[in-house]
Amino acid sequence: MSNAFPRPVEACAVALQEVVHNGAGFLPWLDLRQTAAMAEACAGLAYRAARPLVGTAGREVRQDFELTMDIPQAHPLRDLAAALTDLTLAALARMAPNPLPQGLVYNDLIVQRYAAGSAGITPHRDHIRYVGLVALVTLAGDARFFLCDDRAGSNPREFGMAPGGITLMRAPGFAGRDERPFHCVTEIRQPRLSLGLRHDTRPGQPT
């Protein structure tokens, strides 16, 4: 159940304040047992290979991982998403001003699985339909996460990405800005598993 997950509300507010000022932030969240349980729950999901190259000429993004968005409604990851939504909303309510007064719904979940030595994903921006706040929960493995200025990876700024932790990144509407930061995931030295949570504004999406 979602109430089985920790609620470090003050620490989450600090991480969100980092998102306000720097575009991203990091929050340690799950303990080792919970992290391992969530990773184990992902083992039975049906994955497919990501398209190795997406985007138009001059805007190419290279991807080297497997993914699934086919997560059953009764799956433990749904409880994790509900718990993270509750934690984030509680932390936002303590901030003055609240950088996301319009609220947040994590209605888009994706699990990504990277092999050791994977090239990860090159600098890119998330689709404009994703708003508010992006959360990346690392469930296994290691990687390095950067914000940068463009697709060439100029001016990289690194933020935390460790098992059990949440890497938070602004999306349009956060703190009154329409920014979609360029970001990348690289240097995957051991098998990596992550859950990405986003607020998808397309009609017909859960709210």
Structure tokens that stand for 183 in this block: 């970001």
> Distance (Å, rounded) from C-alpha 129 to C-alpha 149?
20
Residue 51: DSSP 8-state: P
DSSP calls for 144-199: EEEEESSTT--S-EEE---TTEEEEEE-TTGGG-----EEEEE---S-EEEEEEEE
Structure tokens that stand for 202 in this block: 């397309």
19-28 burial code (b ≥16 CB/10 A, e <16): bbeebbbbbe
**Is 136 domain-assigned?**
yes
Instruction: Give the range of the structural domain holding residue 128, as residue numbers without chain letter.
Output: 2-54+61-200
Question: Residue 71 is which amino acid?
Answer: I
Is the preceding peptide bond at 76 cis, omega within 30 degrees of 0? no
**Is 206 domain-assigned?**
no
**Is 147 domain-assigned?**
yes
Cβ 129 vs Cβ 202: under 8 Å: yes
Lateral strand order in the sheet of 165-170:
24-28, 165-170, 130-140, 192-200, 108-114, 66-68, 48-49
**Is 207 domain-assigned?**
no
**Is 205 domain-assigned?**
no
What's residue 206's pLDDT?
A: 65
What's residue 5's pLDDT?
A: 94
Question: Residue 204 is which amino acid?
Answer: G
**Is 66 domain-assigned?**
yes
pLDDT digits (tens, 9 = 90+) for 146-180: 999 999 999 999 999 999 999 999 999 999 999 99
pLDDT less than 50: residues of the chain: 1
CB count within 10 Å of CB 63 equals 22
What's residue 2's pLDDT?
A: 54
What's residue 1's pLDDT?
A: 44
What's residue 111's pLDDT?
A: 98
Give the domain CATH number at 44: 2.60.120.620
Number of domains present in the structure of the chain: 1
